[in-house]
Amino acid sequence: MYEERPSRLPGAVVWRNTPAEAGVGRVLPDGCMDLLWHEGRLLVAGPDTHAYLTEGAAGVWTGLRFRPGTAPALLGVPAHELRDRRVALVDLWPAAEVRRLTARMHAAAGPASGLDELALRLAAAAEPPDPLLRHLVAALDAGRPIAAIAGELGLGARQLHRRSLAAFGYGPKTLARVLRLQRALGLARRGVPFAETAARTGFADQAHLSRDVKELAGVPLRELLG
């Protein structure tokens, strides 16, 4: 069973997932990074370019999903170094610091509240989020052309690509595809016909939507929704 709620950290989401049984799970790309807690360990989920398949024994996972582009500044690691990876926090930070944070997690009222508190501490110690990144995500999510967005931000194409790699793990073109996929799935899950979903989310046609879903999610759209 999966459940989520807004985090105390603005723009973030705290979630909990308890798989009904052991087996393969499918995590779709969403432009985000997550701080994870599982079996007494802190991990970081990097940004995905395609569906990430999980396989193993059933167990409770708790996570805090950061708003796109915000996690690298809090964690001190460029997003592209964690692209398509799940990494133990101890591999990124000094072991003594991770032991201290792990002890705080064990002492918290629960994993969700512990991650919430940890995220707030990280945010308090970091620089404020770059407003440029929020503008970029909003513009891409609205389907704006990348060249036009770069002009609005006063950046060249290469500058925009470099900053996107550090913040999101990939360039603005890939981020735009991921955000478009999430918009399309949101409509399709509400029962909007596939052809209308494609038209409303910026795909050339339903076939284009189907190809993108298969490439990014790894399975056909109908199977994914089922």
pLDDT digits (tens, 9 = 90+) for 31-55: 999 999 999 999 999 999 999 988 7
The token pair that represents 199 in the structure block: 């038209």
The pLDDT, as a whole number, for residue 226 is 83
In which residue ranges of the chain is pLDDT below 70? Answer: 20-23, 56-58
The order of strands in the sheet holding 13-17 is 2-6, 13-17, 61-65, 34-38, 41-45, 86-88
Asked if 17 contacts 1 with a C-beta cutoff of 8 angstroms, the reply is yes
The tally of CA atoms less than 13 A away on the side-chain side of residue 76 is 8
Q: β-pairing, 41-45 with 13-17?
A: unpaired
What length is written for the chain? 226
Query: CATH 1.10.10.60: which residues of the chain?
Result: 131-225
Task: Read off the pLDDT of residues 131-165 as tens digits, 9 standing for 90 and up.
Answer: 899 999 999 999 999 999 999 999 998 999 999 99
The pLDDT, as a whole number, for residue 59 is 79
The pLDDT, as a whole number, for residue 145 is 92
Please indicate, yes or no, whether the overall pTM of this predicted structure exceeds 0.95: no
The pLDDT, as a whole number, for residue 58 is 63
The amino acid that residue 217 corresponds to is: A
Q: Which CATH superfamily is domain 131-225 in?
A: Homeodomain-like (1.10.10.60)
